Structure formats: structure tokens, C-alpha cells
Structure 1
Amino acid sequence: MAELKDRLRTDLTAAMKSRDDVRTRTLRSVLTAISTEEASGQAARELGDEDIVRVLTRETKKRREAAEAFEEGGRTDQAAAERAESDVLADYLPEQLGDDELRELVAAVIAETGAEGPKAMGQVMKQVTPRVAGRAEGGRVAAEVKRQLTA
């Protein structure tokens, strides 16, 4: 049983009781996304915490991108609402890696694999991605891998 899913449900109940509209709306949305993910595919299955973190990361990214789009369109009220939802979801994600930690992790993988040059980016990303597991955005990881391989 996924502890994170139980925590989300418990927090949803608490948010509803305290009439916290942003938290209630956000948690309902993410629990729906989790249920959809569980129902998709060949056989229905219950997601573990690792899978739920992946869903939370995806949902956070969606909100961040939506906030940027609303900001560009001059809809600052909608942008603020998307950022508020993103902040709620951030409470459920693992602590993000700092720049130094990410740099060291990528350097270690490059040393382990003996990768050289930009052509080895896929090989390094394949090794780094599971180690990062929701603690850094994919674009940020890819940028660091590219930087180190081209340096």
C-alpha cells in the first residue's frame, strides 16, 4: 500500500474540513491523476510511492508551465493560482537536489561509465535518471549532463 497516497487522502480530508480551497482542489486533482494512472494500461494496478512521486512531478510541471503561459498572456490571477497549486504539490515531493549535489552525481556516473563527448549523453542520462528519481527536473539534469560531456 502506498503511504504517500494515504497521506494525500488524509490531507485532502483535512483541507476540506478547514475549507482550504486551493489545497482541496489540488489534492483532488492529483488523486484523480493517480487513479487514472492506476486504471490505465493492460491491467489495473495500485501505484507505489515511487510511481506516485512520478505523477506528482508531472502534475507540478504542468502547473509550472501553465503559470508561465498565463503570465505571458497577461493573466496574472490565473498564473498565481497555478503557482499556488504547484506549491501545494511541492510539499509531497522529495527534497530537490542542489546544484552541487547534481553536479557530483553526474560526474560520478560519467566516471563510472567512462562516457566521453556529447554522443554519450543518452548513456549517461539512462544511468542518472533513476538515481535522481523526482529530486531534480529532467531538463535540469540533461543540461548538467550536456555541460559536463562537452566541457
Structure 2
Amino acid sequence: MDLFDVISNDIKEAMKAKDKVKLETLRNVKKFFLEAKTAPGANDTLTDDAALKIMQKLVKQGKDSAAIYTGQGRSDLAETELAQVAVIEAYLPKQMGAEELEAALKTIIAEVGATGPQDMGKVMGVATKQLAGKAEGRAISAKVKELLA
């Protein structure tokens, strides 16, 4: 069962359970999935990789929105965003911890043969592909800068 079907089934479960936050969040996710499936060139298919990227984007947007709301003193809106982020994160692969990320990046740096900050592009290219879904781009970038400095 692919991610699209899992989300569709969980929407039904959220309706039965009368879980408004989960229902609203999953409906929003499914809307983005349907848009991706019907986009030109998509051939009415959506791979799990593409679905994960969409969900990661939604999580990032939700966290950014929550930070803005908090900065404006609207904690009620921030809590709503974070609740939706939590629902989406349940479907994403487990994120790497700081130690795991550092170990993985050290391995990638050794593979690529990077020696300094000038090699950051090489490392980031490989790292973002290998660690897609397991770590945020910002965290990868910050750690690579730290390790190559």
C-alpha cells in the first residue's frame, strides 16, 4: 500500500474518530498529493518518494509559520500549526539525531574526498541525496560547514 492509499484510509479513520485536527491535516496533504498526481507529465501517478518530499515541505512550512505566529504573539495559531506538523511527521521516516548526522556526513566527506570549505558543493550534492527524508537540509548544511571548516 503506497503513502497515498495510507493517507486516504487514515482520513476515513479520522472521520470515524471525529479527530478534527488529523482530518483537516490529512485532507490538506491529500489535496497536495492529488495536485502532484494531476500535474502535467505525472501520468496520474505519485511515487512514495515524491509523496515524502511533499510531506516534508508541508512540515517545513508549518514549522516556519508557527515560528512567525509565535513572533507575532499568536500562540493559538502557532499551536494549531504545530499540531498539524505533528500529524504529518507521524508519516515521515525517523529523523537522524545530531550524532548520526555527523557520522553519516563524515563518511560522505571521506567518500567525496573533500578537504575544505571549497568542496561544500560536492558534499552537499551527495549528502542531500543520501540523507533525503532523514535530515533537514538546513541541519545538513550547517553540519557540513562545521565539519569542513
The bucket for the TM-score relative to the shorter chain is over 0.9
- After the TM superposition, which residues 74-89 of structure 1 pair with which residues of structure 2 at under 5 Å, given as runs? 74-89=73-88
Measure the CA separation in 2 of the matches of 1:47 and 1:147: 36
The one-letter code matched in structure 1 to 2:55 is L
Q: 1:65 to 1:128 in 2, by over 3 A?
A: same
Measure the CA separation in 2 of the matches of 1:90 and 1:147: 27
Matched, 1:101 2:112: no
Deviation at 1:131, TM superposition (A): 1.2
- TM-score using structure 2 length: 0.95
Percent of matched pairs sharing the same residue: 35
Aligned to 1:132: 131
Q: Give deviations 1:30-57, integer Å, cap 9, x for gaps.
A: 1111111222243434111111111110
Gaps of 5+ in 2: none
Measure the CA separation in 1 of the matches of 2:97 and 2:112: 23
- Matched residue of 1:147: which SS? helix
Contact 2:69 2:78 in 1 (8 A): yes
The one-letter code matched in structure 1 to 2:104 is L
Q: 1:43 to 1:52 in 2, by over 3 A?
A: closer
Deviation at 1:135, TM superposition (A): 1.0
Q: Give deviations 1:36-85, integer Å, cap 9, x for gaps.
A: 12222434341111111111100001101011111111111100000000
What is the number of residues matched between the two proteins?
149
Aligned to 1:10: 9
- TM-score using structure 1 length: 0.94
Aligned to 1:143: 142
Measure the CA separation in 2 of the matches of 1:41 and 1:97: 34
